[in-house]
Structure 1
Amino acid sequence: MKNFIYVLATVFLATVFLAWNHSQDTEKARPLSLEGVWELVNYYTYEENEVIDSFPNSEGYRQVKMYKDGKVMWTRKVPTDSTQWYGYGGYITTDTSLVETLEYGSASMMRIIDTSRVFSFELQGGKDWFRQISINENGDRTFSENYIRIK
């Protein structure tokens, strides 16, 4: 009887472990979805592809991005500056990259869009957070914006 209980307990624990392990693999295999509303919470700077510093938003600063059906819109509030910042366009993601192609924006953003419409980033994230990382011409990480899901 003891052997039977031991075998039964072993089979049960193995089944639970395999089911948990499969759910972890499924979670990893699922591509990151940016659909929703996100708020910028802080930034990282990198050296030799490692985070060397992080800093929060300044007091009153707010930046929000919205992703829906292949479209992106973002807006930024800087209390110490009357310049308006917003942009609208399309986006595509892979498991490791985010590419935003802006169509139009505020006057200040249009000056940037007139020289470069496509913004490419390395993408890292989870269900309720993501990080868009700028890469330099040598392929090294330089800077990231770090977001949390707010809806």
Structure 2
Amino acid sequence: MKNFIYAFIMVFLATVFLAMTHGPGAEKDTPQSLEGVWELVNYYTYEANNVLDSFPNAEGYRQVKIYQDGKVMWSRRVPQDSTQWYGYGKYMANDTSLTETLEYGSASMMRIIDTSRVFSFELQQGKDWFRQISINEDGNRTFSENYIRIR
């Protein structure tokens, strides 16, 4: 009887382990919601829809985005420049696209918002990272901002 109970416990634990490591949502890089706080870590440039080059943020540069309840807020710090950069608006995202519609921002951003409020990107994402990719008028990838989740 003791062996039966021991075997039962071992089978149960193995089943739980397999469900946790191979079941739905178990992949380490499964995309999740954009809700949360994200920090820009680097950029990619593209040629023929493939990554051509990667470059990090400049020393002291910091950009953070917050997505919550359909709203987006972002702020950028550029130590070499006294220009303020921030914006606020709505966002919509699905598995492959991200659209931000900005309502207001810093004076420098308002000059851009006055000509274009809607910013659409191809979206690639994993559990704790996402990439917003700019697409040109021919439908080709040109540039991406790459973020990691910080909260």
| Contact 2:31/2:127 (<8 A) preserved | no
2:131 aligned with 1:137: no
Unaligned runs of 5+ residues in structure 1 are 1-10
| 1:3 alignment partner in structure 2 | none
| 1:94 alignment partner in structure 2 | 94
| Contact 2:41/2:147 (<8 A) preserved | yes
| Contact 1:101/1:118 (<8 A) preserved | yes
Q: Deviations over 1:57-100 (max 9, x none)?
A: 00000000000000000000000000000000000001100000
* Counterpart code for 1:79: P
| Contact 1:99/1:120 (<8 A) preserved | yes
Distance 2:50 2:135 in 1: 12
Q: Number of aligned residue pairs: give it.
A: 138
Question: Secondary structure of 2:138's partner?
Answer: coil
TM-score normalised by structure 2 residue count:
0.83
* Counterpart code for 2:74: W
Unaligned runs of 5+ residues in structure 2 are 1-10
| 1:47 alignment partner in structure 2 | 47
Q: Name whichever structure is richer in helix by fraction.
A: 1
| 2:24 alignment partner in structure 1 | 23
Distance 1:99 1:84 in 2: 23
Q: For 1:1-150, list aligned pairs within 5 A.
A: 19=19, 20-23=21-24, 32-150=32-150
* Counterpart code for 2:97: S
What stretches of structure 1 move > 3 A for 4+ residues in a row? Answer: 15-22
Q: Give the share of equivalent positions with the same residue, in percent.
A: 81
* Counterpart code for 1:23: P
